[in-house]
Amino acid sequence: MAIPLGAAERTDPETAPRAAASAASGTQQALQQGLLDVRWRVKELLGSPLGAAAGGARAPHLVLDAAHLRLSGSGGCNRLMGNFALEGQRIQFKRVLTTMMSCPQGMAQERSLIEVLGQVQRWHIEDRVLMLMNWQQQVLVKLQRD
């Protein structure tokens, strides 16, 4: 069973071509800056560093697939999957789902990561560190390129 997070989007036929062109230019910029098609390990969540994965848990990480605008990865226990939209430095995660495994440790951290992804509006890369931010430019998640 998967947990949906986020609302369904509707596509307006009149604005769809503009949206597609904007997404294509956003994807190209993100590829040039190294955002897409690499594994990003979550290092910090809401200002708190993440410790090493314990008890066989996976290290929380994200991969952003350029070809399909799909998110995949792990929250530490469960696999993550969803969509994202890009426009320049703007990014939004949509319909993020998880598997439903129960792990003895890290569930609160995983829930927090998934919730925070829904608040992300912007991205910036500096020194191989990806910062996912809200509209106020507050860093919500820091990720290190593997």
CATH classification for the domain delimited by 16-51+58-145, as one of 3.90.550.10, 1.20.1250.20, 2.40.128.270, 3.40.50.970: 2.40.128.270
Computed from CA positions of residues 123, 125, 126, 130, in that sequence, does the dihedral angle turn out positive or negative?
positive
- Tell me the C-alpha distance between 38 and 73, whole Å: 11
- Evaluate if pTM is beyond 0.75: yes
pLDDT of residue 72: 98
pLDDT at 50: 87
pLDDT (tens, 9 = 90+) of the chain, 146 residues, equals 444 444 344 445 554 445 455 455 667 777 667 999 999 999 999 999 987 655 556 799 999 999 999 999 999 999 999 999 999 999 999 999 999 988 877 788 999 999 999 999 999 999 999 999 999 999 999 999 98
Paired residues of 128 in beta bridges: none
List the domain boundaries for the chain: 16-51+58-145
The C-alpha R_g of the chain, in whole angstroms, comes to 15
CB atoms within 10 A of CB 1: 6
> Interior CA angle at 145 toward 25 and 131, to 5°?
65
pLDDT at residue number 33: 74
pLDDT at 23: 52
User: Cβ distance 63 to 37 under 8 Å?
Assistant: yes
Contacts of 74 (CB under 8 A, 6+ apart): 58, 59, 60, 61, 80
CA distance 74 to 10: 28
pLDDT score for 6: 42
